[in-house]
C-alpha cells in the first residue's frame, strides 16, 4: 500500500525522536496518557450538554495493556476519538503541537533534552517503538480507521473495525540491543511506577490488569496466578493532596513539568486556607530569573482553578507586581466556572484570595530569611530588584509592607544585610543609616566620601542598583532612623565645636574658594572645605534632593529632559595640596585655575562619571609632568 508522507516540519521532529539519544525516553508514556486524558476531557465536556454521549463521569477511563509475547504496549481511551481527516491532520503533522511551536520560537534548537521539557507529544512513542498503530473511532461516527507508521518513510490510513468510540494506540517496541533493553516497558511494575511518577493526577482512572499470585485454595505450597485490574493513579491533583503525602521530588517534578523550568524551584509554598477566602494554593519561587523577567514581555499571573477545573491559565490579578516572580496555581470552590475575564477582575472573592496570597508570600519570604538565610540571599540576588521597585512604585504605597524584605551590601559585614540588622548594630551616638552609591561594591568601597564614616566605625549600606537610592528616598526612614547618603551635605558626624572651627576656617579661605568656583564656570554650586575627607584631597558631594547617582540614573532614561544635581567640590584642608592651592592663590592665579579644573575632574572620575573634556585633562597633566624635576 502506498505510504503518505509526513509534512516536512514533522519529519524533523520525528527524525529527532527516532534517532534520539535522549536519556529520558520513559516520558513517552506520559505523553500518550495526556493525549488520552485530553480526548476524554473533550468527550466529557460534550456529555454535559449532549445527552447522546450516553456516558457519565465515572464511565471514562484509560487502560494500559502489555503483551509480552508480541512485545506490544497499548494505551486505550474512551475519549472523543479521531475520524479519518483528524488522524491525517493530527498525526501526519505536528503543526498543532506545543513542541513545534517551541521549535519555531527557539529557532535552531534541535536538542531533544530541551524540547523534551516542553512535552514532545505523540511522536515521542517512536523513541521506544519500531511501529505505531492507532485505531480510532470518532464520537458520532460508526466507522473506525487505522493509522500506522514505521517512522520516516510515511504512514498508511486504512478502514478498521472498533466497537466503541475512542482510541487505541499500539506500540510495537523496538528490538533490544546491547545497550538498550526495551522490554522494561512490558514490565507491569515499571509501568506502574511511571504512571505514578508522571501521571498521578490525571483525573480519569488509568487501569491495568496486573498478574498476581496467591496460594491455591486448600493448598499450603501450591500457587496460582490470577488477574486483578488496578487503578494506578491517585487522580487527586497534587495541590489537593496532603503535604504529608508529598515529597520534595513530587513538588519539584510538578513544577518543572507545569511551568517549563529546567531547574527545581528554590522554594515551594503549599497552603490551604479557609475563612474569608477558601482556597488551595501551590506556589513556587523559581531558582533562576526567567529569561524575560525584567522585560515588558514577562507576564505575571497564577493559574486559576475552580474546584479542580482550570478557569484561567494566567490570572494576573492574583499577584501584586512586587511578587510577580511567583509561579503556581490557586484552586478555589468559591469561584464560578463561567465567570468571564472582565467580571473576574471585579470579583470580590478573587480580591480576597489575592490579598491573602500576598500576605502568605511575604510571611514565607520572612520565614526563609529567618531560617534559611542562604536560600534567601539566592532569592534576593534574583528578585530583590523587583522588591526594591515595589517599594518605589505607586508613590510608595507598598513600602511599609515590603521594607523588612530588603537587603543591601554592608561595609561591615561584607555581605547582604537587612535594614533591621543594620539598626540593631547602630552605635549609640549614631543618628543616621548611612549609605553610599556606585556601580559596584569595590568602587564604592574606595569612595573618599566613605572614609570618615567608616573611620567612626559606622556601617555603610552600599547601593549598587539604579533603583536603590530611589527606594531608600521613598522610605525616608526606618524605625525612626533617617537614611543619609555619605555624599550629602551634612553627615551629622561633627560636634558643635568642630562645626564652628570649620566655619571659621572656611571664612579664612572664602576668597580662594570663590575664585575656584568661578574658575569652574558654573560646574559647581560651591567649593567648600571638607569635613568628611581624611586622606583624599577632593570629592564631589551634592546639595538638595537630587544626588549624583540619581542624576546618572535619570539621565540614562530615554527622555529629552536632562537633570543636573547641585555639585559641591569639597577640598581637604589637611592634604598637602591645600597648601599649594593657597600659595598659588597668592602668586599664580592662572595656575590655580588649571589646578582647580584638574581637581574637579579627578573628583568626577572618582564618582564614576565621565569628564567633559578628557583630552584637555590629559594635556594639563602632561604639562605638569613636563615641568622641571
* Of residues 539-598, those binding ligand ADP (CB under 6 A): none
What b/e readout covers 362-373, taking b as 16+ CB neighbours within 10 angstroms?
A: bebbeebbeeee
Q: Among residues 165 and 460, whose Cβ is nearest to ligand ADP?
A: 165
Query: Between the CA of residue 7 and those of 60, 134, 150, what are the distances in Å?
Result: 33, 18, 15
Show the CA angle centred on residue 551, arms to residues 547 and 552, nearest 5°. Answer: 120
Q: How many CB atoms lie within 10 A of CB 318?
A: 27
* Of residues 285-324, those binding ligand ADP (CB under 6 A): none
Half-sphere exposure of 44 (CA within 13 A, CB side): 17
* Of residues 138-197, those binding ligand ADP (CB under 6 A): 167
> What is the contact mask toward ligand ADP in residues 71 to 90, using x (rule: CB under 6 A)?
------x-xxxx-------x
> What is the contact mask toward ligand ADP in residues 89 to 118, using x (rule: CB under 6 A)?
-xx--x-xxx--------------------
Least separation in angstroms between CB 90 and ligand ADP: 3
Least separation in angstroms between CB 238 and ligand ADP: 21
Least separation in angstroms between CB 119 and ligand ADP: 6
Q: Among residues 168 and 353, whose Cβ is nearest to ligand ADP?
A: 168
Q: Among residues 121 and 537, whose Cβ is nearest to ligand ADP?
A: 121
Distance CA 540, CA 542 (A): 7
> What is the contact mask toward ligand ADP in residues 374 to 413, using x (rule: CB under 6 A)?
----------------------------------------
Q: Among residues 135 and 550, whose Cβ is nearest to ligand ADP?
A: 135
Size of the site for ligand ADP (CB under 6 A): 19
Tell me the three state secondary structure of residue 450. Answer: helix
Distance CA 243, CA 46 (A): 34
Least separation in angstroms between CB 367 and ligand ADP: 38
Q: How many CB atoms lie within 10 A of CB 591?
A: 15
C-alpha cell at 303: 493559574
Of 60, 61, 103, 121, the one binding ligand ADP (CB under 6 A) is 121
Distance CA 100, CA 119 (A): 10
Distance CA 91, CA 94 (A): 7
Q: Among residues 93 and 582, whose Cβ is nearest to ligand ADP?
A: 93
Least separation in angstroms between CB 132 and ligand ADP: 11
Q: Among residues 97 and 530, whose Cβ is nearest to ligand ADP?
A: 97
Distance CA 252, CA 587 (A): 77
Contact between residue 410 and residue 398 where contact means Cβ atoms under 8 Å apart: no
Least separation in angstroms between CB 31 and ligand ADP: 6
Least separation in angstroms between CB 147 and ligand ADP: 10
> What is the contact mask toward ligand ADP in residues 21 to 60, using x (rule: CB under 6 A)?
----------x---xx--x---------------------
Query: Between the CA of residue 545 and those of 484, 488, 548, 550, 603, what are the distances in Å?
Result: 11, 9, 10, 9, 20
What is the radius of gyration, based on Cα positions, of the chain? Answer: 35
Least separation in angstroms between CB 40 and ligand ADP: 8
Q: Cα torsion at 492, 493, 497, 501 (round to 10°)? A: -90
What b/e readout covers 78-98, taking b as 16+ CB neighbours within 10 angstroms?
A: bbbbbbbeebbebbbbbeebe
Q: Among residues 35 and 324, whose Cβ is nearest to ligand ADP?
A: 35
Q: Among residues 60 and 389, whose Cβ is nearest to ligand ADP?
A: 60
Q: Among residues 232 and 519, whose Cβ is nearest to ligand ADP?
A: 232
Distance CA 143, CA 490 (A): 89
| DSSP β-ladder status, 166-173 and 72-77 | antiparallel
Least separation in angstroms between CB 34 and ligand ADP: 7
Q: Among residues 169 and 361, whose Cβ is nearest to ligand ADP?
A: 169
Site stretch for ligand ADP (CB under 6 A), options 119-127, 359-367, 407-415, 470-478: 119-127
Q: Among residues 63 and 484, whose Cβ is nearest to ligand ADP?
A: 63
Least separation in angstroms between CB 62 and ligand ADP: 9
Distance CA 525, CA 268 (A): 54
Least separation in angstroms between CB 403 and ligand ADP: 45
The residues binding ligand ADP (CB under 6 A) are 31, 35-36, 39, 77, 79-82, 90-91, 94, 96-98, 119, 121-122, 167
Amino acid at each position: 500500500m502506498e505510504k503518505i508522507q509526513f509534512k516536512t516540519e514533522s519529519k524533523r521532529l520525528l527524525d529527532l525522536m527516532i534517532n534520539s539519544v535522549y536519556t529520558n525516553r520513559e516520558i513517552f508514556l506520559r505523553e500518550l496518557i495526556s493525549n488520552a486524558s485530553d480526548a476524554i476531557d473533550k468527550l466529557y465536556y460534550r456529555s454535559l450538554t449532549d445527552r447522546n454521549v450516553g456516558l457519565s463521569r465515572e464511565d471514562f477511563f484509560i487502560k494500559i495493556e502489555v503483551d509480552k509475547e508480541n512485545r506490544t504496549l497499548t494505551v486505550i481511551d474512551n475519549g472523543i476519538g479521531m475520524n479519518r481527516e483528524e488522524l491525517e491532520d493530527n498525526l501526519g503533522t505536528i503543526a498543532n503541537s506545543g513542541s513545534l511551536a517551541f521549535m519555531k520560537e527557539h529557532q535552531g534548537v534541535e536538542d531533544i533534552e530541551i524540547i523534551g521539557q516542553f512535552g514532545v507529544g505523540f511522536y515521542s512513542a517512536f523513541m521506544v517503538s519500531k511501529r505505531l498503530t492507532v485505531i480510532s473511532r470518532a464520537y458520532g461516527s460508526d466507522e473506525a480507521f487505522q493509522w500506522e507508521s514505521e517512522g520516516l518513510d510515511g504512514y498508511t490510513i486504512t478502514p478498521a473495525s472498533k466497537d466503541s468510540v475512542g482510541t487505541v494506540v499500539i506500540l510495537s517496541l523496538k528490538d533490544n540491543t546491547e545497550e538498550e533493553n526495551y522490554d522494561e516497558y512490558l514490565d507491569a511494575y515499571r509501568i506502574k511506577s511511571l504512571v505514578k511518577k508522571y501521571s498521578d493526577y490525571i483525573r480519569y482512572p488509568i487501569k491495568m490488569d496486573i498478574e498476581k499470585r496467591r496460594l491455591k485454595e486448600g493448598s499450603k505450597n501450591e500457587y496460582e496466578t490470577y488477574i486483578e485490574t488496578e487503578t494506578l493513579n491517585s487522580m487527586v491533583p497534587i495541590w489537593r493532596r496532603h503535604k504529608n503525602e508529598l515529597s520534595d521530588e513530587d513538588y519539584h517534578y510538578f513544577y518543572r513539568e507545569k511551568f517549563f523550568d529546567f531547574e527545581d524551584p528554590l522554594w515551594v509554598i503549599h497552603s490551604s486556607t479557609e475563612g474569608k477566602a477558601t482556597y488551595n494554593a501551590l506556589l513556587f519561587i523559581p531558582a533562576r530569573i526567567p529569561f524575560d523577567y525584567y522585560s515588558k514581555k514577562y507576564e505575571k499571573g497564577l493559574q486559576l482553578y475552580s474546584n479542580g477545573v482550570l478557569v484561567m491559565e494566567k490570572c494576573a490579578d492574583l499577584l501584586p507586581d512586587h511578587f510577580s516572580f511567583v509561579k503556581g496555581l490557586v484552586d478555589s470552590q468559591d469561584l464560578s466556572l463561567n465567570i468571564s475575564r472582565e467580571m473576574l477582575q471585579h470579583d470580590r472573592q478573587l480580591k480576597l484570595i489575592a490579598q491573602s496570597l500576598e500576605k502568605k508570600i511575604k510571611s514565607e519570604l520572612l520565614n526563609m530569611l529567618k531560617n534559611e538565610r542562604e536560600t534567601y540571599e539566592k532569592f534576593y540576588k534574583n528578585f530583590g530588584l523587583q522588591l526594591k521597585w515595589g517599594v518605589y512604585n505607586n508613590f510608595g504605597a507598598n513600602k511599609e509592607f515590603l521594607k523588612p524584605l530588603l537587603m543591601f551590601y554592608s561595609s561591615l559585614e561584607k555581605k547582604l544585610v537587612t535594614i533591621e540588622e543594620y539598626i540593631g548594630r547602630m552605635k549609640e551616638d549614631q543618628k543616621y543609616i548611612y549609605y553610599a552609591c556606585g556601580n559596584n561594591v569595590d568602587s564604592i568601597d574606595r569612595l573618599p566620601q566613605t572614609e570618615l564614616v567608616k573611620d567612626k566605625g559606622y556601617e555603610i549600606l552600599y547601593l549598587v542598583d539604579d533603583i536603590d537610592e530611589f527606594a531608600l528616598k521613598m522610605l525616608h526612614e526606618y524605625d525612626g532612623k533617617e537614611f543619609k547618603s555619605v555624599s550629602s551635605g551634612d553627615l551629622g558626624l561633627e560636634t558643635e565645636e568642630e562645626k564652628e572651627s570649620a566655619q571659621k576656617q572656611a571664612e579664612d579661605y572664602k576668597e580662594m574658594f570663590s575664585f575656584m568656583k568661578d574658575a569652574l564656570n558654573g560646574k559647581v554650586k560651591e567649593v567648600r572645605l571638607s569635613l568628611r575627607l581624611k586622606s583624599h584631597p577632593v570629592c564631589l558631594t551634592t546639595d538638595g534632593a537630587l544626588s549624583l547617582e540619581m542624576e546618572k540614573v535619570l539621565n540614562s532614561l530615554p527622555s529629552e529632559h536632562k537633570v543636573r544635581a547641585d555639585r559641591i567640590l569639597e577640598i581637604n584642608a589637611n592634604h598637602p595640596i591645600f597648601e599649594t592651592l593657597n600659595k598659588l592663590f597668592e602668586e599664580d592665579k592662572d595656575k590655580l585655575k588649571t589646578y582647580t579644573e584638574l581637581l574637579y575632574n579627578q573628583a568626577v572620575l572618582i564618582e564614576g562619571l565621565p569628564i567633559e573634556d578628557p583630552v584637555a585633562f590629559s594635556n594639563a597633566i602632561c604639562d605638569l609632568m613636563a615641568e622641571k624635576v
